[in-house]
Structure formats: C-alpha cells, structure tokens
Chain A
Amino acid sequence: MNLRSFAAALAVTVALPLGAASAADLEVTHWWTSGGEAAAVAELAKAFDATGNHWVDGAIAGAGSTARPIMVSRITGGDPMAATQFNHGRQAEELVEAGLMRDLTDVATREKWKDIIKPASLLDSCTIDGKIYCAPVNIHSWQWLWLSNAAFKQAGVDVPKNWDEFVAAAPALEKAGIVPLAVGGQAWQAAGAFDVLMVAIAGKDTFQKVFGDKDEEVAAGPEIAKVFKAADDARRMSKGTNVQDWNQATNMVITGKAGGQIMGDWAQGEFQLAGQKAGTDYTCLPGLGVNEVISTGGDAFYFPLLKDEEKSKAQEVLASTLLSPATQVAFNLKKGSLPVRGDVDLAAANDCMKKGLDILAKGNVIQGTDQLLSADSQKQKEDLFSEFFANASMTPEDAQKRFTDIIASAE
C-alpha cells in the first residue's frame, strides 16, 4: 500500500470533523442486507463513526423494485436521507438534473478522485455536466463463468477452459443427467448472460458500439448474429434449470447438478459458504475464458441536497471516508467486490478475485450496461431475453430484430 496516500487520507478523515466542530447523524439508505453485505456495510459505518459522526442505517432490501421508489419518494417528498446507494450510471441522472442532489466536486478535487479512482470510467459515470455527484465504492463484474469440476468429472470430460469447449462438452453433461448451464428464471439473469456472451464473443469494441454508441447497424450485423447464435446454444444448454433465484442456480453448480453458470462475481460468496475451493471444486473463467475483459459496474453513493449545514459538512466527511484506502480494503474484502482505487492492496483476496484484479490492472475493462443504457432499455432487454431463453420457438434472427429495435430506440 502506498503509505503516503494512506497517511494523507487518514489526515483528511481526522482533520475534517475537527473543522466541522460538532458531529452529525447521517441517515444512509442502501440495499445491502444479506449477511456478507451487512458485514461490509458495517465497515463503512465503523469508519464513518470513527470520524466522530454517526451513521444511521436505513437498509431496505430489493434494489430496483423496492428500494428505489422509497428513495425517490423521500427525496422528492422533501424529507431526504443524507446519503443513498444507487448503481452508478444513469439511474440518478434526473434527480441531479432536478437539483435535488449535492455537487461533490469540491471534495473530489481536494482529494484528487480523478487520480486515485481506477478505472476512470467509474468517475465519469458520476459526472454530469462536469460536476461530480457520486462517490463510487466498489466494482462488480458480470463476466464470469462458474464451472463445477465435479459435474465434468462425472460426465467424463475435462473441465472446459473457454466457452467453446463448454458448448462442446454439453452433450456429455446432458447424457450424465446434468444441466449444462444453469440460468435462473428471473429476467435479469438471462439479460446479464447475454451481455456477457456479447463481450466474450463479439469483443470489447462491438460491445461499446452497440451499447455505448447505440449503433443499430452493428446491432443488426453479423457480429451480433454470432452472439445470438451463442445465446441459442446457451438456451439449449439451460433447458431444465427449473429454479428462479440466481443462488439456487449457483447451488446447482455447487452440488454438481449443473455444469456451469454465467453470473457476476457475487456468486463467489455462495461457493465460499458451501466450503468449496476455487481450482479444486470449482473453476472460474473471466470473460468466459475467451476475452478476458470485465465490466466495471458497481455501487455508488449519492448525497441529496440538505438544508442542515452541519449535516452537509458531514456528507463531505462521509464521501471522503468511503474512498479512503483503509475503508476500501475492509469494505471490499467483506463484500467480495473489487476496490475502486488501484493503489490499495488486497492481499487477502482469493484466486478468482485476484484474476479479476489482474484484468483490472491491465485495463481490460468495459463499462457495465447499467452505465451505458437507461433503465428503460435495460428492462426491455430483460423482457426480450427472458422470453428468448424460455421460448425455444423464438429464432435467434427474430430476437436479434427485436434487440435492434431496442437499441434503436435507446437514448
């Protein structure tokens, strides 16, 4: 760890509350409620409380459907919390435009966020009209294929090293009564799997053209047709999954009832809890083993504009606490995600996490679809892919046509 930056950060966190004269209670809402997540939040709160202020926890589970209307009601109802989690990206844009959120540019400049936050795209998605409105806290990536070593052993084939080998091994798995690819029934899982296939098969540039530039010609073109072909394979391989929740699908991989699952890095926690070891019990392939690229979605905190001056000061303290190296390490180890700054050391990270860190260090990153697309387009995409994965009579060509329409109408 860079000792100097650590000392500097420490100095800031210590110095600010002295300047603020008195402590403030800040209500922070977020949707991290499961065991590991709660432990991670506790790290944030501990660090914030250490500054002399007090973190009042407002946990509300259920990101999109539940927590968000509550947060928006509170903010627009004139009774905002002091800070709230959002996926960074386009979700909070309107609240910012309506002047309800607080500009953090001062804190960000003072603490040189531009230099410390890696990859830079994270800060970009917090930036609207040149001003910074959110503090990113972690990176979650979607591009992972989790494979059950036991399942492949039972089927008598080697554990695949990439997507193509996996597809080739599917018949053997099926013969052994194993579902090759577990895809849970909730819509976001099918849509996420498709995005992962797209980066792996069509590559980073095509991904950026389709989701970043909303280029409908590319979306209708041959590269994406290949992706749909792969999605068609995935659809066939996922037949018989019969579970809803992602973790039930992961459990199928853990118990060897399924060969693999495409899921974000949070799936790792399930393997750990089940006492499985990366390499021996399960295998993780970033970028499906084809294109080692990871997306840098994740979570960020936004700070609604408050009238109370003391609380506003405390908001700055909180923002800088969230990004301090010590908090970053403690939080992300518990959360199983990657830190947003490149200058901290995650010695305790496990194998899969280290692979992720390596890729991150090499700069093989893309922005997550949450950052590139509006929630509306994301939802339409979910509708399309959940239908596609469940309905074998929908041809890849038809699906691509509808996909192109969604991209064409995206803003």
Chain B
Amino acid sequence: MPEIVAFNTIDAGIEPEAEKVQARATQAGPRGRKPRRALSGRNIMIYGTLIVVALYYLLPLYVMIMTSLKGMPEIRLGNIFAPPLEITFEPWVKAWSSACTGLNCDGLSRGFWNSVRITVPSTIVSIAIASINGYALANWRFKGADLFFTILIVGAFIPYQVMIYPIVIVLRELGVYGSLTGLIIVHTIFGMPILTLLFRNYFAGLPEELFKAARVDGAGFWTIYFRIMLPMSMPIFVVAMILQVTGIWNDFLFGVVFTRPEYYPMTVQLNNIVNSVQGVKEYNVNMAATILTGAVPLFVYFVSGRLFVRGIAAGAVKG
C-alpha cells in the first residue's frame, strides 16, 4: 500500500524534513558506487574541477571587491588585479548612505525598503499563481489549456520593453497605473511563462501513483496541491524563488515605468549611481553599490540552499 505510506509522510507535514536530510546524510551508500576514502582519485577530480570552475566564477568578483576598496586615483592607474595600496571603505559607505542621485543624497539605503515591499509580494504572488497554473496544466488538463500555455511560452520570448506601452494602457484602464498593485501584477505577468513551464514540467515528472492514490482517497484539486505537490517540490520552488527574487529585486525598468517615485526600488538608485552618461564615473562606488544591491538575492540563495534536498515523498512512496 504505497499510497498510505505516502500520505502518512505528507500528513506529518514538512517538519520531518530536517531529520530526513540528516538521516540521508548518515545513510550508507551515497550516490556513487561505494563509500570511499576522502582522497580518492575521483574526489580529487570532482573537487579539482569545482575549484577551478569556482575560480572562473570568482575572478570578476575579486576585481570588483579590489576596485571597491581603492580610491579613484589608484583606479585610474589601471591595474585591476592589484590589491589596494591603501584600503578605503569610503566607497561602500558612500554607495549605501551618501551617494547622490539628483537631490537625494542617501545612497542605496533610500530604496531598500521599497525593494523589499515590491519583491516580497511580487515573488509570492507570481510563484503562487504560476505553481497553480503548472499544477492545473500537468494534472488537471482541460480543453484549451494547452493553447493558452503555448501562447504563454511564445510570450516568454517577447522582449518586454516592447510591451511597455500596451501595458501602460491596460494598467491605466484597470486604474492601477502608478500603484504598487500595478507593479505586482506586471511582475506576475512577466514571470508567468517561465514559472508556469517550470512547475508544469516538474509536476508532470512526479510519480503518478501519488496523484492517483490521492484521487482514490477522494482528495480534490486544492487538497492534492497543498498536501502532495507542494511538499514534494521544494527544490523547484527554490529555483522559482531564485528566478523571481533575482529578477524582481534587480528589476529597474518596471519599477520606474509602472510606479511613482515614492515606490522606486533600490535599483533606481543603483542605475543612477552607475549609469550616468556625461558625468564623472566613480568606479569604486559603482562596484560597491553593485555588490550591495546583489547581497539580498545572494543571501536568499544561500539560505534557501538548505531546501535543495531530494524530494522526500518520492522516496517514501516506494516504502
């Protein structure tokens, strides 16, 4: 009776997850062939490759951090790899709290809470809607669903700047132009194609027995979604969150086009700091500002990494 086992696990909720992870870690037989010594040739290869790759990823970060710790005269010398002769944290302080964009000289800090206010609801709403879409498409297909889905996928390829003017019209007619609600709608719309695809394909790949068993037990649309699909899909929810938090947090264009100055996100300040055309460029402040702005998505990546575990119920179903 696999279904019963599955249900028991799921009914117990997500709490056992941590135990499970631990259990798995201590379990004998990791995914390779057999338990092995730390310095096996295979391990050297794996870690060697990962470290080399990590260096490639980190090189630009190194340059950015070094540059952000230098003064402008030192930067003008053009030696990008050299560590700073004289370390200064001035650029960081300036980027965060005193860089002027126009009249407002309070750096990135000005838009920080606005960015939070935009990112949190937009991420939640867009993922909620898209995961339900994906679920409906994968498990409850109705007539015409695939047509709408195809339109959506083609939509993923539209350069979104092209859609600015039509969307201005739509939001104006809805009466939400310039409001936070309008912006959340826009983020939900533009996140929808990729996220829906992500969830649809993931749900479609889950063991079908689970779904059937739940149906037999009389569980309906929402019950199955919340009780089975959601707990089994943590990694894909993390991926969706990575996509959305990054996209929305770093979004600049929608933030300014569809809201008013009191809602401007942090990226407006970032853009103003780094993107001025005919003014003097302070590269050290630019670098610091970029790293600071990226800190929040980075933090999310790191924290949410804990959820990157193997689907729990998938194993449970087989008992």
Contacts and interface: CB of A to CB of B under 8 A. Distances in A.
Q: Do chains A and B touch in the complex (CB under 8 A)?
A: yes
Interface of A: 27, 30-39, 41-42, 45, 55-63, 66, 69-70, 73-74, 76-79, 245-247, 251, 254-255, 264, 266, 269-270, 273-274
A63 B272 CA distance: 11
A56 B261 contact: yes
B101 A59 contact: yes
Residue in A30, A58, A273 whose Cβ sees the most chain B Cβ within 10 Å: A58
Interface stretch (B191-199, B221-229, B277-285, B309-317): B277-285
Contacts of A63: 277
B268 A60 contact: yes
Contact of A60 (B164, B165, B256): B256
The 3 A-B residue pairs with the shortest CB-CB distance in the complex, in nearest-first order = A34-B279, A59-B102, A57-B103
B257 interface: yes
The interface centre, meaning the residue of B256, B257, B260, B278 with most chain A CB atoms within 10 A of its CB, is B278
9 contacts: A31-B277, A33-B100, A38-B102, A41-B103, A61-B274, A62-B271, A69-B253, A73-B164, A73-B165
Contacts of B253: 66, 69-70
B171 interface: yes
Nearest to B104: A57
Contacts of B76: 251, 254-255, 274
Which interface residue of B102, B164, B171, B177 has the most chain A CB atoms within 10 A?
B102
B280 A73 contact: no
A379 B105 CA distance: 34
Contacts of B276: 31-34, 37, 61-62
Contacts of A58: 102, 261
Contacts of B118: none
A266 B178 contact: no
B280 A45 contact: no
B49 interface: no
A61 B177 contact: no
A117 to B, nearest CB: 23
Contacts of A274: 76
A33 B178 contact: no
Interface residues on B, range: 35 or more
Given A35-B282, A79-B260, A61 B165 contact: no
B271 A61 contact: yes
Nearest to A32: B102
A61 B101 contact: yes
Contact of B281 (A59, A69, A73, A247): A247
B177 A77 contact: yes
Contacts of A31: 276-277
Nearest to A263: B278
A39 B99 CA distance: 12
Nearest to B261: A58
Given A34-B281, A70-B257, A62 B275 contact: yes
B164 A69 contact: yes
Contacts of A42: 103
Contacts of B161: 69
B20 interface: no
Contact of A36 (B164, B261, B271, B279): B279
Contacts of A39: 100
Given A77-B172, A77-B178, A274-B76, A34 B257 contact: no
B298 interface: no
A33 B280 CA distance: 10
Contact of A78 (B72, B102, B177, B282): B177
Given A31-B277, A33-B272, A60-B256, A73 B101 contact: no
